Amino acid sequence: MAAAVKNFIPLFDRVLVSRAVAATKTKGGIMLPESSQKKMNEAVVVACGPGAVDSDGDVIPVSVAVGDKVLLPEYGGTKLTLDDEDFLLIRDSEILGKFVKVTQSRRHYDEEQ
């Protein structure tokens, strides 16, 4: 991770993410040209703001943390380049979902219902 990213703190409910890199080779070993590679909607959270402020002045924390793997919309956010690395600055409310690892306790909880 670039040193500039460590010095960058998003404001309010904004989240800085790094998009996943698209596959350049198929499972069979065929190299894909750049024109056929699609934009990935998966990203890893690099930095988070403190959260949004509601009408009463209370801070609503963001729903993700640094290191979380998230699903992004196809369009949206602000493209940002820090130390020759591309990032995306997006609002917490625009994040579509978060990927979680299934643990034994989570699997047990899902089976009970």
- To the question of pTM greater than 0.75 for the whole model, the response is no
d(CA 26, CA 83): 30
Cα-Cα-Cα-Cα torsion 29, 35, 37, 38, nearest 10 degrees, comes to: -160
Q: Which two tokens stand for residue 21?
A: 């890199």
Exposure string for 37-53, b = 16+ CB within 10 A, e = fewer: eeeeeebebbbbbebbe
Q: Which two tokens stand for residue 52?
A: 């949004």
**Beta-bridge partners for 14:** 91
Nearest to 39 by CA among 82, 6, 81, 71: 71
- pLDDT digit string (tens) for the chain, length 113 residues: 556 667 788 889 999 998 877 666 667 777 766 666 566 788 999 999 998 888 998 999 999 999 999 999 888 888 988 888 889 999 999 999 898 877 655 555 555 55
